[in-house]
């Protein structure tokens, strides 16, 4: 059990069955639930020859360890999509589209960032090992399956990894409320990595200094900044917009 990855909720379990069914060891479901959504999940599991265990809600609560599970919890082998950034860049066709998250420790924010990254065609999300949340059950649930499709690479030294990206001709664009240029001024048709800091503190000094360019998201109302997952979505879709226009 300790070496298993816990997947809680329909989105996380169904997505893993779609992308890597062989990695799922077994699925636990709420014994009293018989609705169409549950029946569909059971049918998909049976088709993939995955063991199903109908259990009381208390057992599911214990397995999910506080994460909202909707009556479904799966135990699976951990799935590694990419070991390092070279694994990603070596197989990309066309310009790279990356997201770097500096010091984002909230699993809900990471899950939302991964979900948006998947939708925007991001090739990988990069974060430091020492100041970031890993892929846990909450991230899996919030990401709605994106944690199984977007490589999440945690690195020992973020600034060094950023310099390695520069050597691979990836332009590093940091977001900073005080920057004079806006994200609309960026040439997002080239290989780029958007660099986001956590709420409050923002990017760490060395991360900021390693960026090639700093831009801000124009704020028209009374709030000073956006949540990191929303800011990521705004910038990532600027890349999508520019590349579609091109």
Binding residues for S-adenosyl-L-methionine: 197, 217, 226
Rounded Cα gap, residues 14 and 1, in angstroms: 20
Q: Say if CB 65 and CB 73 are below 8 A apart.
A: no
Closest Cα to residue 64, out of 8, 105, 13, 115? 8
For 42-48, which contacts have Cβ atoms below 8 Å and span 24 or more sequence positions? Answer: 44/14, 44/17, 45/17, 48/17, 48/21, 48/22, 48/24
Output the known binding site. 197, 217, 226
Closest Cα to residue 147, out of 230, 198, 76? 76
């Amino acid at each position: 059990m300790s070496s298993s990855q816990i997947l809680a909720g329909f989105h996380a379990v169904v997505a893993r069955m779609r992308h890597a069914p062989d990695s799922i060891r077994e699925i636990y479901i709420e014994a009293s639930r018989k609705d169409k959504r549950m029946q569909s999940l059971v049918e998909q599991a049976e088709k993939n020859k995955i063991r199903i265990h109908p259990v009381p809600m208390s057992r599911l609560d214990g397995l999910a360890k506080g994460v909202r599970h909707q009556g479904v919890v799966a135990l699976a082998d951990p799935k590694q999509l990419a070991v390092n950034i070279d694994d990603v860049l070596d197989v990309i066709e066309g310009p790279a589209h990356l997201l770097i998250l500096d010091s984002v420790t909230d699993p809900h924010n990471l899950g939302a960032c991964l979900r948006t990254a998947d939708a925007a065609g991001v090739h990988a999300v990069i974060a430091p090992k020492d100041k970031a949340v890993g892929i846990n059950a909450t991230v899996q649930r919030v990401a709605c399956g994106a944690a199984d499709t977007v490589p999440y690479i945690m690195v020992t030294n973020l600034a060094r990894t950023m310099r390695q990206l520069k050597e691979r001709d990836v332009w590093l664009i940091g977001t900073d409320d005080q920057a004079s240029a806006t994200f609309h001024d960026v040439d997002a048709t080239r290989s780029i990595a958007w660099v986001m800091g956590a709420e409050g503190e923002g990017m760490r000094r060395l991360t900021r200094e390693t960026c090639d360019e700093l831009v801000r998201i124009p704020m028209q109302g009374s709030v000073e900044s956006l949540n990191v997952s929303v800011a990521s979505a705004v910038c990532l879709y600027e890349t999508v917009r520019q590349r579609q226009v091109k």
